[in-house]
Each structure stands twice: as C-alpha cells, then as structure tokens.
Structure 1
Amino acid sequence: MKQFTLERFSKLSQPDIFQISIDVENFHNIMPDYFKSLDVLEENKYGMIVNEKIHFLGIPTQIKTKHIIIHPNIHGIHILAGPLKGTSFIESYVEKDNGTMITIDVTLHFNNFFKLFPFLQNLVVKKMSKTMDEFVRCTEKSYPMISS
C-alpha cells in the first residue's frame, strides 16, 4: 500500500470543475485518451457504481468503481475490481484565488503484476500525477471563456 497527496490549481470555478469531475457518464468526453467508456450500473443520491474501460500506462483495462459524491466539494472513488482493487481517491475542490485548489488523497493497493514488478509502482504514481495535470488542462480547455 502506498499513500500520497496530489494538489493542482485550476482557473475554473469550484462549482464548474466539481460538476465536471462528478459527471461520470460524460467523463470520456473530457479525457478520451484515458477513459474509453463509463457505464453506470447503479445510482442513488449518494453516488454510483460504474464499469470503466480505461487506458492506463498504455494498457487497456476494465475496472469497477464506486463513486461517492458529497456536495458541494468531495468526490470519492473506490476501485472495487481490477488491477488496483482496494485503491481509493478522495478528491476535494476548494475555492482559492479566483479558481479552485484540487486535492486528491490517494491510497494505492497494488495487486497482480504490480506486486511482481515493484518498479511499476513508482511508474503508477508518476502516471497518476501526469493524469491529474491532464485533467486540469482538459477541463480548462473545455471552457474557452477562461483566458490563459
């Protein structure tokens, strides 16, 4: 298990970027290189269970996730099935300096081939950091009224 925190700043308002992050059914439109399809299996007022087809580390894979949404600023994602089963991402979105500070507390559980090849564990952490950079870039790009 590995725990770490990622932080990024976005020029988007807190309500806008939070809404994008919890719009699971359309997330593949924001980051098509990473998320190929997301199918909601169950949904209630607390969140949803989702089958996700993703590309990560250049590998296509399918995972099952539980998304817990606490309005107005918390989005928890728990991997229920897949190579990183047991992993969780707790995202918080806080207004700051005419934008939003995004903080993700990550608890990684390595399974399968990730346990067999420890060097892949550091690669996963680096890739998650780059994916967060890409998320901010893609969301800001989807809102052209925001100046650079």
Structure 2
Amino acid sequence: MPKFSLQRIVNAKREFVFEVFSNFENYQKLFPQHFPSVRVRSIRNNVSVVEEYLNLGRQELLIMAKHVSENPVSHEVFVIGGDIKGSYFKQQFIELENTTKIIVDVDLKFKGKSLISSMFRKNDYEQEYSKILDDFVNIIEN
C-alpha cells in the first residue's frame, strides 16, 4: 500500500505548529473540505479516540483514529477502524532558528479491493495528502 513522506518549513514557532496539528477537535471548523465531520469519542491524557470523515481525493473515508500527542514534538494518528484501518500518520515538528520543519510520514492501508480500485496511484495519494498539508501550513502562517 502507499507509503510516503512530506516535508514543509513554516514561519511559526514549533509550539504553535504543534497546537494546530494536534487540535483535531477543530479540524472540521478549520478544514471542512478535508474533515467534514469529527467526533471526539474519548480523551485520556495525551491519547484520544476520534471518529472522523476524511476526504482524500474523490473518496470520503470513515475512520476511527487514535491520536497520540507528545507536546510539542510529534502527533501520531493510528487508524483503528473504518475504511483505512491499519493506516498510520506521523507528524514531527522540528524547531529551527525562526521556523519549524514539519515531517509527515503516511502509511495508507485500504480495506477491500473495491476501495483500492476506486482510488488512484501512489503519486495521486501523495498529491492529495500534500494539499491537506498545504492547508495546514496556510492556517498556521495566516
């Protein structure tokens, strides 16, 4: 299944970058084109379980995700149920002089052959997820 990494440099402090990425409760408000629905099911310390709809290209994916945050260093998302169960997203935040480097590792796993055949090639997944990352960067810098 598709695995890829993306990187961006943003003009913002690491703590603020981390706050935007780890504040999944506001994804629906900030990124409705990518997250049309987000429902928090459970929060305990730095671990949360969230039901999300994720638009990736032409597909709306229903997922149950476990979010694990290590402030301000990383935010990991383990997909524990739904259309892409077993998928994994890791966001790392590296503090530079006056900027922050974001590294996102994505490992997509699709449930069912019909979902796979209706999607696109690895480069298409990467391009579509890159659009999501660009929208996060735009929110952070504006």
TM-fit CA distance, 1:46: 2.8
Alignment of 1:104 onto 2:67: no
Report the secondary structure of 1:123's partner residue: helix
In the alignment, which residue of structure 1 is the partner of 2:116? 115
Question: Normalised by the size of structure 2, how large is the TM-score?
Answer: 0.87
The runs of 5 or more residues in structure 1 that have no matched partner are 142-148
In the alignment, which residue of structure 2 is the partner of 1:144? none
In the alignment, which residue of structure 2 is the partner of 1:36? 36
Shift of the 33–117 alpha-carbon distance from structure 1 to 2, 3 Å rule, reads closer
Report the secondary structure of 2:38's partner residue: strand
- Which aligned pairs between 1:44-83 and structure 2 lie closer than 5 A? 44-83=44-83
Question: Normalised by the size of structure 1, how large is the TM-score?
Answer: 0.84
Moved over 4 A (4+): none
2-side partners of 1:18 and 1:106: how far apart?
A: 17
Shift of the 10–62 alpha-carbon distance from structure 1 to 2, 3 Å rule, reads same
Deviates more, 1:114-123 or 1:38-47: 114-123
In the alignment, which residue of structure 2 is the partner of 1:12? 12
Equivalent AA in structure 2 for residue 134 of structure 1: D
Q: Percent identity?
A: 27
Does the CA contact (< 8 Å) of 1:94 and 1:100 recur in 2? yes
In the alignment, which residue of structure 1 is the partner of 2:94? 94
2-side partners of 1:85 and 1:121: how far apart?
A: 18
Does the CA contact (< 8 Å) of 2:110 and 2:116 recur in 1? yes
How many residues align structurally?
141
- How well do the aligned residues superpose, as a CA RMSD in angstroms? 1.9
2-side partners of 1:9 and 1:108: how far apart?
A: 24
TM-fit CA distance, 1:27: 1.8
TM-fit CA distance, 1:64: 0.8
The runs of 5 or more residues in structure 2 that have no matched partner are none
Does the CA contact (< 8 Å) of 1:110 and 1:121 recur in 2? no
Equivalent AA in structure 1 for residue 27 of structure 2: F
1-side partners of 2:119 and 2:56: how far apart?
A: 17
Does the CA contact (< 8 Å) of 1:35 and 1:55 recur in 2? yes
TM-fit CA distance, 1:121: 4.0
